[in-house]
Chains A and B, each alone.
Chain A
């Protein structure tokens, strides 16, 4: 810990805790299940696309991206990174992937048994690998490269991503649906073959609906955070998001927990309860949080910084009525596409052609009334970083909102310097004050 005393300042939402606890609970449960011989799959975060299928097929899923973060946090990533270097992987590659190569090399050296030094019991040898072309090259090239170590098949999930203007062309959306639906159907056939069982279609149907409902409630919770003062801090969002993002554990139970969270946040809005003692500045955070230095947010909260919205990639897609789509595969496909395509029309209207990951922050800042943006580029994760310089430019140009850019990394935790961020807080407050005036003069309403 690097930011001195650990006084907790953020007023955490109580209903968040059971959701946060589901992460460890389901990890432990999944370890038990794996020990009992249940098939395990290594998957990339796939945004509501492949996960419901795995869930319906009763397969345990572990996410090496998340496990990479766990290795870094436990301080044991170095050994695996060195191993990946020695295996000949270029050092500029995604840090999580490099840690995973080192891990996989070690796993196979031990005959497929998780290494004893691996935290949380390690990741067991998978039945297959589920990669995704969404978000970055690493997320499919990485699993392909694992073929050096693991004699297991790989399925690569497609994730169409046309341009904002090109999306308006005739049939573009329907072609995306066609691709996704056919692809998912083939994926199911692949999974059935891999586990030697048939899909339970009723179960898939139920899971698809629960997934959409959980995400709808999660979306509504975030809408409540537009209130002034903001009732729920980004830290609570990050703590509560995994059950929705990764479909952890029992989905009916998750749905109830999100409803409880909604109720508590709504109650706070009614009572004017703030997530921090005194909300002076409202901020947006992009993209991946500095997991190892989260108490920085308490220090910033002491100064009146409330983080009211964050991390587009972790947010649920906006709700969409798909009740007329009877085929659960098509429903899943359309829902998964919704994350991006739901923003295309607005992005075009606002003439933001740089992609949804830029447009969305203009939306966040103007609807959640942010005074500043905290941008966190990561040296070895290009997908979470590339759009940030442009984002800073466009927020200033269009909305007169300044950005504070603090560099970090996903595995080299020393790169992020919370002290530096704190030192820059005061001048940034002056900038936020200044641009508040500029915005008012320009006719903005915050």
Chain B
């Protein structure tokens, strides 16, 4: 019998391309995307399987050295490196977004060196102003146009609404998964969650939802739970999609909330369709995803900057997480050269300090070699919070 629940998640986590390769062999189209700003609903509605492209920490970067400088986001370097090595040969195409500068720049190089049948780049505004939102929606319209041509299908409102529903369901299921980390000890570990979410991002939406349902059921029922450790931590950062990193953080602590792009962040809220589905997606993706790349301030047109108010406006959502998940400390974890998030570090720390929560910043270079120093840093931090 095929594996289910956590075992299935483990399988997919270790061999994430297997299922999409099978689907492709059966005639499905598969499109890769490296960033959570791509509205997957539009792909699913056209019967295309989205596949989240992740870096591979254990793979030394060699090919990308020819085309990208060394002092550059190591995650994007790794993603491109894998592509150049043919690891993404099952893809029919990729969709990239002007999320951060490294992604925008890598996207263009990617397109130049890997001639997949389909490639689309979504330009994203930097602000959340009304005119920016409308521009973003027009960019999504452009993506629909190229996808329709590529797939030979026409996007129907009905199918799009169904896809929105399915992804809203997925958001809800991931939110439920994080509910299970509220008790002490948590019912599911941060390391398990990394595997589950990476697996979900490597499967079509319905299969991902089925997996999540199985995991939820299994975790609630199982006898052997993760142990309560020295502290309950919140992870804040860009993307932590490698279970080895999370298990370092969890050596002597429970990471009960992961505010990052392979954790809770892509699954916050839900898409609410009022009239126009594409606009609904634009609103959700531009306003709801809490990536540092978007310029947000407490008031749209301020006449004065009130730092505390600004911190509250930008990070206020973290306050209830701190209390609901009973967080003792925060790890700000970034890869080196992740500029959009790195600029936020002192401000985020200020915010946690205002809540009386200790926080530490750890930077790594996305190699296995960086794990041992990371462990030392986490230990030192745990010492300080007692």
Contact = CB atoms under 8 A, between A and B. Distances in A.
In the complex, which of the residues B100, B109, B119, B334 has the most CB atoms of chain A within 10 Å of its own CB atom?
B109
Interface residues of B, number: 63
B347 to A, nearest CB: 6
B126 A186 contact: no
B131 interface: yes
A92 B108 CA distance: 23
A260 B350 CA distance: 54
A389 B343 contact: no
Given A175-B135, A389-B66, A194 B306 contact: no
A91 B109 CA distance: 26
Given A141-B340, A179-B135, A354-B108, A148 B350 contact: yes
B69 interface: yes
Given A90-B345, A194-B303, A156 B126 contact: yes
B307 A190 contact: no
Nearest to B107: A163
A138 B343 contact: yes
Given A166-B142, A178-B131, A141 B112 contact: no
Given A142-B343, A151-B306, A386-B105, A354 B134 contact: no
A385 B129 contact: no
A94 to B, nearest CB: 7
A377 interface: yes
B155 to A, nearest CB: 15
Contacts of B72: 382, 386
Contact of A166 (B123, B126, B345): B123
A145 B349 CA distance: 12
A136 interface: yes
B346 A89 contact: yes
Contacts of B67: 389-390, 393
Contacts of A142: 343
Contacts of A148: 307, 346-347, 350
Interface in A332-378: 352-355, 358, 377
Interface residues of A, number: 67
B339 A389 contact: no
B190 interface: no
B223 interface: no
B263 interface: no
B105 A387 contact: yes
A79 to B, nearest CB: 18
Contacts of B102: 382, 386
A186 B69 contact: no
B293 A137 contact: yes
A162 interface: yes
Given A87-B346, A138-B343, A156-B126, A144 B297 contact: yes
A165 B111 CA distance: 11
A162 B122 CA distance: 7
Interface in A138-164: 138, 140-142, 144-145, 147-148, 150-154, 156, 158-163
A133 interface: yes
B292 interface: yes
B138 interface: yes
Nearest to B299: A153
B95 to A, nearest CB: 11
A151 B142 CA distance: 40
Contact of A355 (B108, B119, B135, B305): B108
Contacts of B292: 141
A140 B349 contact: no
A178 B345 contact: no
B347 A354 contact: no
Interface of B: 66-69, 71-72, 98, 100-102, 104-105, 107-109, 111-112, 119-123, 125-127, 129-132, 134-135, 138-139, 142, 145-146, 292-293, 295, 297, 301-307, 310, 334, 336-337, 339-340, 342-347, 349-350, 361, 363
Given A145-B343, A163-B107, 17 more contacts: A93-B343, A133-B127, A137-B340, A138-B343, A141-B343, A154-B302, A158-B127, A158-B132, A166-B120, A166-B139, A169-B142, A179-B131, A355-B108, A377-B69, A382-B101, A382-B102, A386-B68
Please name the 7 residue pairs, one residue from A and one from B, whose CB atoms are nearest each other, closest first. Answer: A133-B126, A163-B121, A141-B343, A182-B131, A179-B135, A88-B346, A175-B138
13 contacts: A88-B349, A89-B345, A93-B343, A141-B340, A148-B346, A148-B347, A150-B305, A163-B120, A166-B123, A171-B138, A193-B303, A388-B69, A389-B69
Interface of A: 87-90, 92-94, 97, 131, 133, 136-138, 140-142, 144-145, 147-148, 150-154, 156, 158-163, 165-166, 169-172, 175-176, 178-179, 182-183, 186, 189-190, 193-194, 352-355, 358, 377, 379-380, 382-383, 385-390, 393-394
